[in-house]
Amino acid sequence: MGETGIRLDLTGQTAIVTGASSGIGAGIARLFGRAGANVVINYRSSEDGARETLRAIEDAGGTGRIVQADVSQEGDVKRLFEEACDAFGTVHVLIANAGLQRDAPAHEMSLADWKTVLDVNLTGQFLCAREAIRLFRARGPVPEVCPALGKIVCISSVHQFIPWSGRVNYAASKGGLLLMMQSLAQEYAGEKIRINAIAPGAIKTAINRSSWDDPAEREKLLDLIPYGRIGESEDVARAALWLASDASDYVTGETLVVDGGMALYPGFREGG
Ligand code: BGC
């Protein structure tokens, strides 16, 4: 740590970013590469996207490695961490980001769509966090690199507390993440593992293309965002860098909301 005690970079640290072939995950992976981390770029199906993320990191002078794995599969998650360790020796940071939506009115939602969303968004983050915690504990502290034993950032959503009709599977997965993250943080703070979350609002990515592509939909979306613009992956990446870095060393069990004010009940702006 520097003289000011602030270290907003990740030099000498290795970070796994799940779902890093597009969207928020790709934005985080790129910024972490620029911040000096060795970045493990995980993807499930878009190899091209993962290559693009790696290229951007390398073009900026950073280092990365691509690992294909489905975070909802226990064996894949184990292999993801093994390959990360083979490439870079160990892991200091996990960004549990991979997630998806399968929207439908609840009365029409298939069990398969309920399960897929829970399996990836909630169980997937649990499997990755469990593997990271196992690895941090087995390795032990490396105080010359980082004051914490390890750091985990769960990418959640404003829908961990804003109910969302037509997306009961997604909202349930994100609501579950809140208490998963807090319970893990409580369980492992004594071992100096820091576990936090980010709750992004509407960030311009493929997951919500239909709400920013079409001008009328875009206007409706902007009505929900007091700050007056749709978020960019970089907005979330900067928050993730702070939570993953040692500048936030005394922070654990917290959710950082990055939403341009979406969670501030914008419907009440004109009085109740
Ligand atoms: C969802 C997006 C949505 C945003 C705000 C995110 O978690 O994935 O589709 O635009 O929340 O509602």
Q: Is residue 163 part of a domain?
A: yes
Report the predicted TM-score, pTM, of the whole model to 2 decimal places. Answer: 0.97
- Measured from the CB, is residue 146 less than 6 Å from ligand 1? no
Q: Is residue 58 part of a domain?
A: yes
Is 227 catalytic? The answer is no
The residue among 228 and 4 whose pLDDT is bigger is 228
Q: Is residue 207 lining ligand 1, measured as CB closer than 6 Å?
A: yes
Q: Is 93 a domain residue? A: yes
Give a yes or no: residue 2 inside a domain.
Answer: no
Q: Do residues 155 and 20 lie in contact, with contact meaning Cβ atoms separated by under 8 Å?
A: no
For ligand 1, is residue 155 a contact (CB within 6 Å)? Answer: no
Looking at every residue in the chain, the average pLDDT score rounds to 96
- Please tell me the distance between residue 149's alpha carbon and the centre of ligand 1 in angstroms: 32
- 192 located within any domain: yes
Question: 5: pLDDT confidence band, cut at 50, 70 and 90?
Answer: low
- Note the pLDDT of residue 3: 56
Alpha-carbon distances, residue 188 vs 94, 191, 199, 243 (angstroms): 15, 5, 21, 16
81 is in which domain, residue-wise?
14-259
Cβ(101) – ligand 1 distance below 6 Å: yes
Confidence tier at 6 by pLDDT (50, 70, 90)? low
**Nearest CA residue ID for atom 7, ligand 1:** 157
Q: What confidence tens digit (pLDDT) does each residue in 37-50 have?
A: 999 999 999 999 99
* b/e code 64-98 from CB counts within 10 Å (16+ = b): bbbbbbbbbbeebbeebbebbeebbebbbbbbbbb
**What confidence tens digit (pLDDT) does each residue in 66-84 have?**
999 999 999 999 999 999 9
Q: Is residue 266 situated within a structural domain?
A: no
Residues in the chain: 272
Residue 161 Cβ contacting ligand 1 at under 6 Å: no
Task: Establish whether residue 208 lines the binding site of ligand 1, counting it when its CB lies within 6 angstroms of any ligand atom.
Answer: yes
Pocket test of ligand 1: the residue of 165, 203, 235 to mutate, having most ligand atoms within 8 Å of its CB, is 203
Please tell me the distance between residue 202's alpha carbon and the centre of ligand 1 in angstroms: 5
User: Considering only CA atoms, which residue is closest to atom 12 of ligand 1?
Assistant: 202
- CATH number for the domain that contains residue 67: 3.40.50.720
221-268 confidence digits (pLDDT tens): 999 999 999 999 999 999 999 999 999 999 999 999 999 999 999 999
Domain assignment present for 54: yes
Instruction: Specify if 103 maps to a domain.
Output: yes
Q: Output the CA 113–ligand 1 centroid distance in Å.
A: 17
Q: Please give the distance, rounded to the nearest whole angstrom, from the Cα atom of residue 14 to the centre of ligand 1.
A: 28
Does 2 have pLDDT greater than 80? no
The pLDDT score that the predictor gives to residue 8 is 84
Distance 42 CA to ligand 1 centre (A): 21
Domain count for the chain: 1
Chain segment 138-151, per-residue pLDDT in tens: 999 999 999 999 99
Sheet with 255-258, strands from edge to edge, namely 63-68, 38-43, 14-17, 93-96, 150-155, 193-200, 255-258
Report which of 98, 108, 53 is spatially closest to residue 77, judged by C-alpha positions: 98
